[in-house]
Amino acid sequence: MTLDISSAPIASDTNDHAPPGPRARWAQDLSASLVVFLIAVPFSLGIALATGAPLTAGLAAAAVGGLVVGFLGGSTLQVSGPSAALTVITAGLISQYGWQATCAVTLAAGLLQLLLGARRVARTALAVSPAIVHGMLAGIGLTIALAQLHVVLGGSPQSSAPANLLALPGQLAGSHPPAVAVGTVTAALLVIWPRLGRLPGRAGALGARLAKVPGPLVAVAVATSLAMALGLQLARVELPAWQPHDIVPQLPHGPIAGVLAAVLTVTAVASVESLLSAVAIDRMSHRTGDLDRELRGQGVANVVSGLLGGLPIAGGAVRSTANVRAGARTRWSSILHGVWVLAAALLLAGGLRRIPLAALAALVLVVGLQMVSFAHIRKVHRHREFPVYLATVLGVVLFGVLLGVALGAATAVLLALYRLTRAHVDVMPGPGGSFTVQTHGPLTFAAVPRLSRALAGIPGTAQVAVVHDGSFLDHAAYETLHSWRVGHLAAGGQVSMVTRRQDAEVLDPDGTVRTGSSPGPHRCRAWTPWVGHHCIEQQEDPHGRLLDGVRGFQLHTAPLVRPELARLAREGQTPSQLFLTCADSRMVTSMITNSGPGDLFTVRNVGNLVPAPFEPGAADDSVAAAVQYAVEALEVRSITVCGHSGCGAMKALLDGVHERPGPPTPLARWLRNGRGALDRLRRAPAEFTTRPVVDLVEQLCITNVVQQLDQLMANPAVERRVAEGTLRLVGMYFDFATAQAYVLDRESGRFSPVEALEGQPAGPAPCDTPERVNGIEQVSAVSAATGGDPRLAA
């Protein structure tokens, strides 16, 4: 249903949100396939160089990954090919068993992937700790970088990362200047090229257009041209002719246990990387992939690659992200990319042979260093998983991938056991000689000595409150508390045992469970004041009710959040989202986004308006300043404009408060920022995908969200970041009556409900991927406002 407030004709932009037709989809897929192809060719050659395999093996793996996984995979927009994460493993296999035996290992790993996919166990790979995954990638990246640094310096890499590190001083002393020059130019271009769009003024606009050309292609092309122009004597790419008898897989010679370990290692790393990348790409593109089918597709690709003499294959986040950002719509973009790689291998061999090896080595070196992500380090440190990350990194660098991952897993188990047995017992004196014993964490037999010492120091006649945080209490700790309580009561003291849970129970160790109450004038739990108004009505003084709430916070919530707030006080705020919403008292942003301190940079005003600079007399620098600060200083990755049902500002706009005669009031001047929403309502009113709008006010509320997203683009800082692809703009609407959030749909431009996912833990929904509509990226899940964390970003 559409409620028009004017008979004016609908403008031509009403079809801006219409999904593209088949011809447009083909054009987008073709364009995206060319972008991915230009990235894949130098990247595949560089990976082959780093492993010591024939360079044709990299191109063969890229072609097979595009064609086979493109047809058979379960993730529509994922692009597969030779993987940087498998570089160290493949290099070790080649040095130990030879190239033909490595092809046999690749084939066997593909067969095992097929078996695992048939058994539908793909999702079990997602149980691997993110700290282990990121640590493995960082360790592999450092190992790759150390090896390729020797090639950039004009030498040859050693057999292991420690050996490369020990040989580095000698290599630096005897470096080859032409190779160093070519490698330096390549690395510099790879680092600088994506940042050209950040230049000020017209240079930034020109740089943004240039940055659309893939950086690896530019870097390798410039380095090759420089080497040819200066006549530098350098080692160059060697593409041997394809000889079937040279690539027939042969069984590895050696202990069967070592061969099985090699097959399992390739299978595990390739499968985990492919599945995690598939999950991330599906979230980016707002699609639901079939992980078991994806695993089977990867298995078939590795079987074919092993038979044809190609490198092991895995889904890659680098190529896949480029595919999505280039506008790919279907799996044909990946398939066509494989066709272009195959054509390049057959027809452009002469041009590829001119590429200096130092340029490819510098490309892989930069990719390896980028696998060490400081964002991931901060994240694992925030979740207290840094020991697991560090153990995995050091293990991979010193002992190899398999032992490194095993060391990381062992560290994770030990850390979990430590936390399980670690409990804090704090004795705090109170007024009148009373004491409070506060416990945090599970009380097990391991905590009994600490608990006994704390209780023994309390005078026998004191009044004591033992407050447990509701964690696990085993029999040994229960007996200790019960015995102490009996003795303390016999000595004339008083004891109350309280378990602080969400249901606010009071638990006595003798087995009696009775409902408790929090201190204060009313018996309400933490969230009751907004669930049942009878609790609020018991207190007539609003100021007194406010202070009671603060006292409740100090008693119950402050001890829980104090460590996190202390960390934020030390480190400062680093939110990843700007949340712009209405000042309405019913909008509880932390509740509907399931966020906490430091997660959202929130701006609230009447009507969630973004003043446009072209509105005479209505501009407001406070909102623009907040947006600029969030985008430029805090470097947020998304901006969400969230409207809500029954908005008083929208009612006032419909009533014409902003146009009434006489001197305008401050409210009237502010509401003039909403005139664009009224105009859009006449031209192209927004709608829902699953239900009609309730009334004209609701239709203006959701239309206003779309309009404010457009007005955000008038901010130069926002426009620049959106053009770079580093900032998303999200439209959201919250309906109070149904407690339902809606987001702007990527296909139709209409608002779709955010559905709760069965089996998901409480928290933000998985992050979905933007679709560009009128220059604005729309996201189809509330997690785009609260942030998502794909676990793989290599």
What confidence tens digit (pLDDT) does each residue in 309-347 have? 899 999 876 778 778 877 788 899 999 999 998 988 888
Q: Which of 669, 642, 665 is nearest to 744 (CA)?
A: 642
With beta carbons less than 8 A apart as the criterion, state whether 327 and 32 touch.
yes
Is pLDDT at 783 greater than 60 in this prediction?
no
With beta carbons less than 8 A apart as the criterion, state whether 786 and 577 touch.
yes
Question: Which tens digits make up the pLDDT trace of 712-725?
Answer: 988 888 888 888 88
Torsion region of 372: left, alpha or beta (phi above 0 gives left; psi -120 to 50 gives alpha): beta
DSSP state string for 237-290: ---PPP-GGGS---PPPS-HHHHHHHHHHHHHHHHHHHHHHHHHHHHHTT----
Is pLDDT at 349 greater than 80 in this prediction?
no
Question: Which tens digits make up the pLDDT trace of 530-576?
Answer: 443 434 444 455 666 677 778 777 877 788 788 888 888 888 888 88
Is pLDDT at 619 greater than 70 in this prediction?
no
Where are the alpha helices (H) located in 400-513, listed in sequence order?
401-421, 448-456, 475-490
| Residues listed for the chain | 794
Q: Which residue has the higher pLDDT, 135 or 422?
A: 135
Q: What is the mean pLDDT of residues 741-750?
A: 81
Is pLDDT at 13 greater than 70 in this prediction?
no
Cβ-based neighbour number of residue 136 at 10 Å:
26
Rounded CA-CA distance 288/76 in Å is 9
Range with the largest mean pLDDT of 265-269, 419-423, 761-765 = 265-269
* C-alpha distances in Å from residue 670, one per residue of 233, 497, 675: 69, 55, 10
Strand partners, 579: 602, 640
Question: Which tens digits make up the pLDDT trace of 632-688?
Answer: 889 899 999 999 999 999 999 988 887 888 788 888 888 888 888 999 998 889 999
Q: What is the mean pLDDT of residues 104-110?
A: 94
With beta carbons less than 8 A apart as the criterion, state whether 159 and 337 touch.
no
| Residue 503, pLDDT score | 39
Rounded CA-CA distance 406/410 in Å is 6
| Residue 279, pLDDT score | 78
Is pLDDT at 171 greater than 80 in this prediction?
yes
Q: What is the mean pLDDT of residues 452-469?
A: 86
With beta carbons less than 8 A apart as the criterion, state whether 401 and 395 touch.
no
Cβ-based neighbour number of residue 354 at 10 Å:
12
Q: What amino acid occupies position 212? A: K
| Residue 124, pLDDT score | 76
For residue 239, name the pLDDT band (cuts at 50, 70, 90): low
Tokens (6 digits) for 285 = 């593109």
With beta carbons less than 8 A apart as the criterion, state whether 231 and 224 touch.
no
Is pLDDT at 469 greater than 80 in this prediction?
no
Is pLDDT at 764 greater than 80 in this prediction?
no
Q: How far does Cα 782 stand from its chain's mean position?
A: 14
